[in-house]
Structure formats: structure tokens, C-alpha cells
Amino acid sequence: MRCSLRVCSHTSVRCRRKQYNGTRAALQFVTPLLIDALHATSSSPLDVRRKELASALVGVPPSLSHEGPLACSHLQALAGLCEGDLLRLLSETFCDVLEAPPTSHVAEMWSSSLQETYVRELARARAAESNRSFPRRFEAGMTAHHVFSGAVKDACAVGREEQIRREEDVEQVGAGRWSQLIDDYTLMLPDRSPLHELENLPQEIGIGELLASLLSWMGDEKEEIQTIMDVGGGNGFLAAQLAEIFRCESIVVDPFTPKHAIDNGDFPHWVEPSRRRPRVPRQHPLCRIRQRLTDVNWKSTPLNFNRCTMIAKHLCGTAIDTCINHLQFVDRLPRIMVLVPCCFNKGNFVEYCNPVYLHSAAGVKTEMAWNRWTRLTDWNQSSYQQFTASTRPVKRCSDPVKMGHQKMKKLQHFLPCMDDIAFMAEAVINHGRVLWLRQLGYHALTVSYVPRCVTPKNRAIVAIRDVKPVAQHLQRGV
């Protein structure tokens, strides 16, 4: 809507309806968290800043279920915060909620220079495919080899000789490890477009390496994992990769089968005539159940859930909660789960697994409040958006007043910390799930399975049961 609102009578601030509603929802979420932080923290250098901010937020409508008006001071309360400030103000009190340590794969394999190279190549691939209706496909893995195995050369070319000299051995080992991982995860795959590979392969490797670290703690019990079940697995690429890596069968549970699915023998998967590496045929079976998980009769399905690992990569909304609730109801909970939630705003409050926690942590207790609050999770920016914003030419304007009006039309004018708010809202939702899984008997936590440059939805919920020593390992990070 292009109409503007005057927020109070004596002093006015012109804003768009979207800015007003977005700021109000953000303040209704942040205010109780800030008050809890003030009460919980005995002495901290950040207390002064917390008190100033809390004072500016006095009178904010008390919960997300209220539609009360904002004052001018409320609308501008967060305008002075930079990205990261809000997390620092709340991290001491809510460290268990916000914590998502990187996996060992991310910590060891994703150097800063590699992340910079990845973002540049991702932007280049997106630009190359922007004008194509059907992107050209190439041998799977070749684009990734160019980006990941060539990271050392790219870093040297930028001119950081001294830094490279210190890290050269580590980087060379990393490049070799990347080369091996790329081959392991792609030699059985169909041809892919460069953009599809750069967006998805790092996540597929990240999930596989995360699962490998979990299974390694189980020692001899690794052989007991017989089935990978990918819920919402779509094209089946991830299920097929994990089946080959862990030498077990895989099942894709999805009512929709895309035309390019790996198990669709009628689709021309391999179009590149010349290959640099020989194809490796898949050795382990992939089955497909063309139903929603809740519609499957699991009691008559020959699947041993005590030796099953459930994967859900970017399962939208509260579908994760619905699936686990159903498996609990039919007494078919898998031994290991690796869950990557996304599209939080597409869920329903009645389906969320831990409404009691959500009420206590964020004041969400109705469907209306849920719908308003989960929209905040869409505010974080991808690395591609950040990269294009930093490289986009600055528009020159001779009229400073007009420039100011253009800037004020954006929600970022009132909420420069939008990314922090999105991160916290997601963290609260995921932490409620972690607590619920612990009640079901799982050791569970949230980790970052890929760096933020790959996807802003880079957090995975890891849950494992029936292995007592794993609790200590999980707390050290996977």
C-alpha cells in the first residue's frame, strides 16, 4: 500500500503501511526478549544500551495478538542499530537459543577465501542463466571442481601472498579433500546446470558429512543403519548420494515427482557427450513412496526405524512437526534425524510441536500472532542479495530531499537490523523443536551445516537416540 500513516499527533513520522506493520511485529517480538535480558543479566557492559532501548520501547503493544498503535519513538527505536547489534544485546541471556555452532566440515573446509570465491562464482552463474529458459547442463561436479578445488589459485590471484603463504598447506589439503568429496557426491549424478550445482551440492555434502560425523561416534553400530529416508526428497539426488556414501538403501517420501528425478529412466539425464571423469553407476536401491508421510501405512511398511535415518532438507513450514508427530503416534520414530527447516511462514500454529514454549519465549499463542510473527523469518538476505547490493551502481540524485524520501520508503530505514530479527525468530522456532525432541528421548541440538553464504537457512536440527555417549559429543559440536 502506498498510503502513509501519521503515528502520533504532535510529532509525525510518515511511513508506509508495510513499514508500520513490520516494525510493530518486530517490536512486539523483541520487547519481551529485551526485558528478560535486563532481568536475567546481573552486570554487563551492555546493560546501559539495553536500558536505553527498553525505555524507548515502553508502551509497545504487549503481544503479537494486539493491534495497538505505535508512538513515534517506537517506530524509530531500532533505527540506530546496526546489523549484529541486537544479537549482541540478547546473546548473553539467550545463548542456548541462538547457538548454532558450525559443524567440523564447515569449520575445516570453508575458509574465508573460499566463501568469497563461492559468492562471486554463484553470482556469475546466476547472471549466465538469467536469460535462459532452459539452462544448459554439464557434467555433474565439474563446476564445483572449478570453484572449490581452485580456491587457492583464486586467493593467490587476488594478491594475498602473505596470507596464502601461512595457510598454503592447509588450503592445499582442503582443495584435495574438496576434490574427493565432489567426486564422491557427483559421479553417480545426472548432468546439472552450474547454478543448480552451486546452490545444492554444498548443502548435499554438508548434510552427508554431518551424518557421517554422527555415525562415526556410533563405532561398530554404523553398520546398523540400513535405510536413508528423505522426506520431501523431490528429485531424489540427496537420497541417492547418501545411499552410495553409506552403502544402504534409500527411500524418497514425496507425493510429487519432478520430471528430472534421478529415478526417472525416461528423462535424458546425461546430455554432455564428452566426460572428463567416467560415470559410476548407482549400486544401492532407491525406492519412492508417492504419498505424504502422514498418508503412508507405516505399520505395514517393511522398514526398521531403529536402523533408519530420516533426512528433511528444506521441508517447508510446520511439515517437520507434522511428520514427527505422526511418526510418534504410530510408534515409528527413526533413530537419527537431520532436519533442515525453511519457509517458516508457511506453517500453521496448530501444527507446531511446542506451543507452550513458543508462548513463554515469544508470546505467540494464536494463529493470528503466529502468522504475523513468522513473516519476520523472511527478512534475512541471501549472499547473492548482499553481493548484488554491494556491486550495484549507486544512483546519483541531485535532489537530496528526493534521495531521503526514496530511502525512507524501505523497511530497512526503520529496521536496519532486519536480518538479526529474522535469525532470532527462526532460532526460537527451532529451539522449541529441539526441546520437544529431547522430551521424546533424543539428544538434539541445532548446528550450522553450511556457511551463511550458501543459504541463510543454514541451520540443521540434529537428533539421535539410544546412544548415551553422544550427548557429550553433541555439546562439543559436530
Residues whose CB is less than 8 angstroms from the CB of residue 245 and which lie 6 or more positions away in sequence, other chains included: 184, 185, 208, 212
Work out whether the CA dihedral 65, 68, 69, 75 comes out positive or negative: negative
Cell of 329: 503416534
Q: Which helix (DSSP H) or strand (DSSP E) does residue 464 occupy?
A: strand 459-464
pLDDT mean over 206-224: 80
**pLDDT score at 241:** 98
Whole-model pTM: value is 0.88
pLDDT mean over 424-447: 96
Confidence of residue 385 (pLDDT cuts 50, 70, 90): low
Work out whether the CA dihedral 153, 156, 161, 166 comes out positive or negative: negative
Percent of the chain beyond pLDDT 70? 83
Angle between helices 367-374 and 418-439 (to 10 degrees): 130
Q: Which helix (DSSP H) or strand (DSSP E) does residue 289 occupy?
A: strand 286-289
Give the CA-trace dihedral at 444, 450, 454, 459, to 10 degrees. Answer: 10
Whether 260 and 235 have beta carbons less than 8 Å apart is answered as: yes
pLDDT mean over 462-476: 65
pLDDT mean over 387-409: 51
pLDDT mean over 53-60: 91
The rounded mean pLDDT for the chain is 85
- Give the span between the Cα atoms of 6 and 20, in whole angstroms: 10
Confidence of residue 83 (pLDDT cuts 50, 70, 90): confident
Whether 63 and 28 have beta carbons less than 8 Å apart is answered as: yes
Confidence of residue 394 (pLDDT cuts 50, 70, 90): very low
- Give the span between the Cα atoms of 284 and 15, in whole angstroms: 58
- Give the span between the Cα atoms of 475 and 418, in whole angstroms: 29
Give the model confidence (pLDDT) of 229-266 as tens digits: 999 999 999 999 999 999 999 999 999 999 999 999 88
Confidence of residue 163 (pLDDT cuts 50, 70, 90): low
- Give the span between the Cα atoms of 442 and 324, in whole angstroms: 12
- Give the span between the Cα atoms of 319 and 315, in whole angstroms: 6
**pLDDT score at 216:** 83
**pLDDT score at 271:** 82
**pLDDT score at 397:** 46
Beta pairing partners, 342 = 316
CB hemisphere CA count around 227 (13 angstroms):
20
Write the single-letter amino acid at 305: F
Ordered DSSP codes for 379-439: GPPPHHHHHHHHHSPPPP-S-HHHHHHHHHTSGGGT-TTHHHHHHHHHHHHHHHHHHHHHH
- Give the span between the Cα atoms of 384 and 362, in whole angstroms: 30
Beta pairing partners, 461 = 339, 446
81-90, 280-289, 351-360: range with lowest mean pLDDT: 81-90
Q: Which helix (DSSP H) or strand (DSSP E) does residue 461 occupy?
A: strand 459-464
Give the residue extent of every domain in the chain. Answer: 4-93, 104-392+411-476
Q: Is the pLDDT of residue 153 over 90?
A: no
245-249, 292-296, 387-391, 412-416: range with lowest mean pLDDT: 387-391
**pLDDT score at 429:** 95
Report the SS3 class of residue 52: helix
Give the CA-trace dihedral at 200, 203, 207, 210, to 10 degrees. Answer: 150
| pLDDT greater at residue 283 or residue 157 | 283
